């Protein structure tokens, strides 16, 4: 039964994913943005199990960085990453976690 489920999913989703990649543009960007969002959520959950917290705000901001990197140049990508970094540090400082903010900044 498990093999049948995998075959059905493969028959449905492989052509769908190939069509998305073939069409490109907004469909591909949206699909890859969804993949990035899922990946960031899983990374956040793994880090929480290790005792490291990442604010939930980082998840949608990672999509912003991805979309910015898709349609803009390197300067705007670096600016987006810097803004996300500042927001995460600001979140730590707002919650009076000065030690957490300093740990993120220190090398």
Tens digit of each residue's pLDDT (9 = 90 or more) over 48-67: 887 767 777 777 777 777 67
Long-range residue pairs from 91-96, CB within 8 A, at least 24 positions apart, any chain: 91/55, 91/57
**What does the pLDDT look like over 69-106, one tens digit per residue?**
667 766 776 776 777 777 766 666 666 665 655 565 55
45 has pLDDT over 80: yes
**What does the pLDDT look like over 20-44, one tens digit per residue?**
888 887 788 778 778 877 887 887 7
11 has pLDDT over 60: yes
Q: What pLDDT shows up at residue 107?
A: 47
């Amino acid at each position: 039964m498990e093999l049948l489920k995998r075959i059905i999913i493969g028959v449905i989703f492989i052509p769908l994913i190939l069509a998305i990649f073939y069409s490109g543009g907004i469909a591909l960007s949206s699909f890859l943005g969804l993949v990035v969002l899922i990946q960031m959520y899983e990374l956040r959950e793994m880090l929480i199990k290790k005792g490291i917290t990442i604010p939930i705000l980082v998840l949608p901001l990672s999509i912003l960085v991805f979309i910015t990197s898709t349609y803009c140049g390197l300067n705007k990508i670096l600016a987006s990453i810097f803004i996300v970094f500042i927001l995460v540090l600001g979140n730590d400082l707002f919650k009076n976690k000065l030690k957490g903010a300093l740990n993120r900044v220190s090398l």
